Structure 1
Amino acid sequence: MRAHSERFLPFGYKLMISYLVLVLASVITVGYFAYALALDAIRAQTETNLQGTMSQVNDNIVYKIGEVKGITDVIFRDETLQKLLRSYERGFYSYESLQNYMIPSFANAMRLSHGPAQLRIYFNNPNMFEVYGLQQFDADPLAGGIPSNRFDIQQLNRLEGEAWYQGLPWQGENTIPSSVYAGKESLWRQVDNDRRFGNMSLLRRLVDFDKLRQIGFTRTIVNLDQLLDAVNAAKFGKSSRLYVFGDNGLLLKRSGGPAMVESELEGAFGDDYLVIRQTIPETGWRLVALIPNERLELGIRKLRSMTVLVCIGSALTLLMLGWGVARYFSKRVNKIIVSLNAVRRGNFLKRIEFGSRDEFALIADAFNRMGRDVDELIREVYVTNLQKKEAELESLQAQINPHFLYNTLSSISRLAKFGEIDKLHEMVMGLSKFYRLTLNEGKNIIPVTKELEQAMTYVEIQQIKYRDRLRVYTEISPDVYGYETIKIILQPFIENILEHAMCSHSINVRLCARLEGDRLIFRIIDDGAGMTPAVAAGLFHASSEGRSGYGIYNVDERIKLQYGATYGVSIYSRPGIGTDVSIAIPAVRCD
């Protein structure tokens, strides 16, 4: 049948190929249009994200600018300070005002700075004293970091010869326009030696609000790099450039690109970069970011890869669907074959289920019925074997007691014959206790404590007969208490020692019990006659001559029937030295 099916292409395969051609054409068409739409969305989203990053940089700069402006806000809004600056009192009053109010006010204003800064206050009051915090006028006023924060108080006429002062937009105004109240009374400029030392100054007029006239101005000098420390092109990605240009178009700071003025920007980079511009409020400065188009291409490449993967995944999914339709009926046949193979391997619980009512369902019903019949038959055979095993165990148990009873009754008869009534009484009482423990309400499994007690009861019976000739020592680990065992597995070995191992006037026996991992180990050790390895090995066969071999076989078989072949009896013996019997059973706790 297999050879015949290979001569032609099955109809199911032909149908699947036609189906896939139509499906692949649809997938490619849909994938192309989805890619085009997603591409536009990615471009827009990328530009939005870059604008957001740009706004974060802008906000950080605005925050730093506001922090610097906050230093002069304390002075600008202090009406008492304004009155003192425009006061023309001479002598001690002017000095006292300077020391007690003005200098502490300026010092408090400087404490608002979180970085190096210097405050210079210029006022138009010839009666006011000057204060100089900077001794080296040609040095960087911010040298030394934060500990260099200080302020100067100088007369305004000292700046009359300075070009930068003459070029201020408010120069020559006697009255203050309404723009002061709109927050336009300040401006940022690099004046004096600011550009030389990389600094920037905030120039802000001091206003007499009663008469709306200028009484001086403040100059707050800060480090330009610290003011613009948020300007970092790495935030926009690899190979990006970030520039800050002043209101005059000159470069204030750059990150990731060559130095240039703003007018050179467009021609330098062409169409290779996406240009984003934002104006920094209150300064007139312009923040310009140039992001390479590769940044956009990275997202486009990811989109392209994702589109291809989705198309391939869709095609594979449809391939599996087509394959499933083509093999719909063949799977039913395979299901029956798998179930038959399971039965052949011995799994008769395997069942076949079909949802429809057709020829396959009839075959499944017949197969399931056959499996149930075979399984029931096997279970019947298993139960029969189990009952046989229990019968063998009871038979072996029954074969021990008569032998022990016969020997004990013989000893009782001898004691009665010789008139040893006391010994006779002790032996009868010991025999009664032994059989009381043996019966144990018909239970075959008993606690280890009872098995040890039964063995010692047997020893007590035999010591009536042997007296000092029999010495028994026990080494019982407390760990064995609380576990269970088959009954009468120790007594047969003690009996065997007394019948076959005593080769002199006396014998010593050591009875041990301990826990080893998940096993209970009993050992009966004597210093009697011993035996050869061949004789010891022959004791594990039911055909062994004498009661000695049969008793050992009996105990070993009962243990194996109860617990399995990995447990049982092992014997080590040497002629003239003695015998060491080891009994291993699983460590099972009592219920």
Structure 2
Amino acid sequence: MKPVRDWPFSYKLVLSYLLLLLISVLTVGLFAYTNSVQTMRDKTRDNLQGTLRQIRDNIHYHTSDLERITDMLYFNQSLHSALRRYEQGWYSYETMTKTMMPTLENLLNYTSFNIGLSVYLKNDTLPELYYSDTEVNPLLGKKRYEIFHLSRIEEEGWYKTLALSGEFAENHQWRQVQNDEPYANISLLQRFDDIQQMKHIGVLRVTVQLKDLLQAVDYRNIGGSSTLTVRDAGGRVMMESAPDDAGPEGSLADTKRLLLTEPLDGLGWRLEASIPESLFDESARRVRSMTVMVCVVSVAAMTLLGMAVSGYLTRRIRRIITSLNAFRDGDLGRRITFRGNDEFAQIAAAFNKMGMNIEELIQQNYMADLQKKEAELESLQAQINPHFLYNTLSSISRLAQFGDMEKLQLLVQELAKFYRLSLNRGEIVTTVAKEVEHAKAYVAIQCIKHGTRLQVYYDIDPNALFCSTVKLILQPMIENALEHAWFGSSLGIRLVVVRRGHEVVFKVIDNGIGMSPGTIPRILDPEGPRIGYGIRNVDSRVRLHYGESFGVRIASGPGIGTCVEIVVPCRN
């Protein structure tokens, strides 16, 4: 016999494969055999936990359904308006018959449960409306509503806790109050507030039977000898479902049980499931036997198929994976080629075609997005110039009318300079230096119009002049100050340009009348009213060009002036 080192590589591969196969299958089989019980326990536990979540969701659906009833009353503006009227006689009768009673009657039909809807009101001009049958559970009959004066419960501890919570809107509480516990009922309590006037006007109460609210708590949903229990926050049993032979507190009688829990949000309770161990072991034994059989069959099958298929597939799959990894890393030019016309060749052809299509789509989307942004920038920019030109031409007309040729000549020169810088050879981006020069040309035009009443000061950082920016962002801010900031007969404006780290900050500060804090969000709101249009236009252009982290910020206060700040990235 030849030495092992002289054996053909195919023999070595087959023998090593068989050895590894036997070791792997035996290891997996032994591991599956010894761990099948735990595996099935986990799987069954997950299934049971999922069933428990479904029960929890069903209870949450019912509680949410009842909470929506109180919410509809809480946010009923017409009801609030009616309850603000404290007149007796016809007004109280009209409020009861046309508003209060129809509203409560409609809400009773919102759910299929037999519920009791009670409203306690501070408005004692309205008559009380209630039933006197207190000997039996009132919810065993039909749905009904009642109206009480709040004075009936003002000394109740549960009302004081609810009334002194200091909260408005959705402060739901599920509690057993008054005669709920002996009748096996539960009540949803909520403060009743006039949200427009922020006043406490009463209490809303929806009462429902526990068996209706917790109807999904049925041990048969779990199966076997399982027990389902609902406990409150203090551990008290609110409801339990168990087989007849489980006995009292059946969930605790058998020590060989698994306990699963789910919180019941909103109620503050928890749902417990007590499941016998036998329910897990029966399924685990079946899977354990199946595992042994599969291991034996796998040894024979993989021995025959592995030798024939392993080499063929491994080489081709490795090439596909290599190409996919390159594709994932951004090398969209990677291609695969296989001889023949089998599945691997078809995969290669589909992969190559997909790469070509993706490259074309990326290029098309990039060009379309670029063209869209350029069109939006040009459209926004074009909205600035006509308004200013109209005003300036009006000023030129007045100077010509009064024969002030010296100012007229200077105004025309500055206007020509202003539009030369505005055109910027059709480019959207300009330098900070040109933008400042453009603003100064505009200020010069305005100083001719306003004379000594307008004082403008400049604080320019030389380190920022060579950075780039979207053009026509300073002139609208100065124009806005000239239009809205006059305080008396004079106005002072300070133009600041400073480089701050990787940003360039423009500030237009005036000593005018300022504005209220509520006006600022309305100016910057793209969907808001058409006020401060020039500021909003500049903010849109900056954000469109540089991203949402840049744009316009405003600080102002009545009588102290306004500071408008524009932030753009510092790029040469």
Q: What range is the shorter-chain TM-score in?
A: 0.3 to 0.5
Alignment TM-score, normalising by the size of structure 2 = 0.45
Q: Decide which structure has the larger Cα Rg and report it.
A: 1
Alignment TM-score, normalising by the size of structure 1 = 0.44
